[in-house]
Copies of this chain bind each other. A is one copy, B any other.
């Protein structure tokens, strides 16, 4: 807080919108800067996105991967965290407006409100095929997945039971691959013995992509490895199949009907509507086309970072991954500090630390520099990086133990169906975080 009795001028006000990877790392970078930081998020928690699919598939509890933003930043005495909904930005008056009407002024603004699911003109599909961006989304997916097995146990008709035990996942990017692998695994390994009227190992998981290969952002050899590892585990992979219809009983993809009681959406994201509110130039998908230093053209006091920004580094587009959000958030914070010292801003340079996606126990794919990894080595790399990262994030050995314990025993600890699953975020809402980490 600014001491009220201080004779010194008030420190410059930095307002950060969004507590995902971009906003949180921007705030952390400003911990010792002579500024007053206000971080505003509509949720009280930062989510460790790379493991969100584990909450959706009952492997982890939601507090394992979510921490109160204000708790993460509690030792930063120059930082205030507000739980609030920002509905407008006024660049001329340098204020943001909260849903409750209150206005908050800034000297520098960092917009890091991320992206949410995109249904490409089919918003009516959202209730039929929920996506995975928030903790609430993950709890809804978890309840839907577990309820399908419960319904199957009570269903005497074999055809309808088969449909209940079919999961269709739309989108073969990292989230789709991870969901497909995890659902097959829970069906085949965790549920064993729990049911009397069917064998959960016969659960069908169908992964559908409109393009010619899974993990389109990865090198083709790893796409092929991913397909092979998924198929070995019993996942049916359908490529070159555009989804044209979704209803409560199935999906039509590539002209073919797939009967499925549960459909999950992992096919695309769209940027937060706050980008449009800035009045800045946008790319075709709605991301803000930022300057090389990540400022908005014509508004050097406004930075856009993470998934909401169309950023270039050394002439190349920066991928929508967690590292992109983290590094761009830090960059924006550093540029604000440079300006305080009268120095000019510098262009953002993205350091590609690699991308990875996990398929299941002992199976993953990864690209680090020019090296490609797959199978057990890639999985071990994935596990090591996420363990180190998660420990740094939560500082809780217990999460690690919980996770390893469940892994070793093929048990899922979080198999609680909530009677009223939390409603998913409305389509127009900005999401809070960047795409899952270290992924392409």
Q: Which residues of A contact B (CB under 8 A)?
A: 1, 42-45, 61-64, 66-68, 70-71, 74-75, 79-84, 100, 102, 134-136, 139, 146-147, 150-151, 153-154, 193-197, 396-398, 401-402, 405, 413-423, 425
Which residue on B lies nearest to A58, using beta carbons?
B63
Residue from A42, A146, A154 whose CB has the most chain B CB atoms within 10 Å: A154
Question: Which B residues touch A100, using CB under 8 A?
Answer: 154
Within the complex, the shortest CB–CB distance from A134 to chain B, in Å, comes to 8
What are 27 A-to-B residue pairs whose CB atoms are below 8 Å? Answer: A1-B196, A44-B150, A45-B416, A61-B61, A61-B62, A61-B63, A61-B414, A62-B416, A63-B413, A63-B416, A68-B194, A68-B416, A70-B153, A74-B193, A75-B193, A83-B150, A83-B154, A84-B154, A100-B154, A102-B154, A136-B420, A139-B418, A396-B413, A397-B405, A398-B413, A419-B422, A419-B423
Whether A71 contacts B418 in the complex (CB less than 8 A), given A83-B153, A398-B398, A405-B398, comes out as no
Let me know if B68 and A415 touch, CB within 8 A: yes
Whether A43 contacts B139 in the complex (CB less than 8 A), given A61-B63, A61-B64, A70-B195, comes out as no
Question: Which B residues touch A423, using CB under 8 A?
Answer: 419-420
Which residue on B lies nearest to A44, using beta carbons?
B417
Within the complex, the shortest CB–CB distance from A66 to chain B, in Å, comes to 5
Which residue on B lies nearest to A77, using beta carbons?
B196
Question: Which B residues touch A45, using CB under 8 A?
Answer: 415-417
Within the complex, the shortest CB–CB distance from A373 to chain B, in Å, comes to 30
Question: Which B residues touch A74, using CB under 8 A?
Answer: 193-194
What is the bound-complex CA distance between A401 and B168, given in angstroms? 37
Let me know if A63 and B420 touch, CB within 8 A: no
Question: Which B residues touch A194, using CB under 8 A?
Answer: 68, 70-71, 74
Question: Which B residues touch A398, using CB under 8 A?
Answer: 398, 401-402, 405, 413
Question: Which B residues touch A154, using CB under 8 A?
Answer: 82-84, 100, 102
Let me know if B136 and A418 touch, CB within 8 A: yes
Within the complex, the shortest CB–CB distance from A70 to chain B, in Å, comes to 5
What is the bound-complex CA distance between A270 and B75, given in angstroms? 46
What is the bound-complex CA distance between A302 and B134, given in angstroms? 46
Which residue on B lies nearest to A72, using beta carbons?
B194
Question: Which B residues touch A418, using CB under 8 A?
Answer: 135-136, 139, 422
Let me know if B414 and A63 touch, CB within 8 A: yes
Question: Which B residues touch A396, using CB under 8 A?
Answer: 405, 413
Let me know if A153 and B422 touch, CB within 8 A: no
Residue from A43, A83, A84 whose CB has the most chain B CB atoms within 10 Å: A83
Within the complex, the shortest CB–CB distance from A156 to chain B, in Å, comes to 9
Question: Which B residues touch A75, using CB under 8 A?
Answer: 193
Question: Which B residues touch A139, using CB under 8 A?
Answer: 418
Question: Which B residues touch A68, using CB under 8 A?
Answer: 146, 194, 415-416
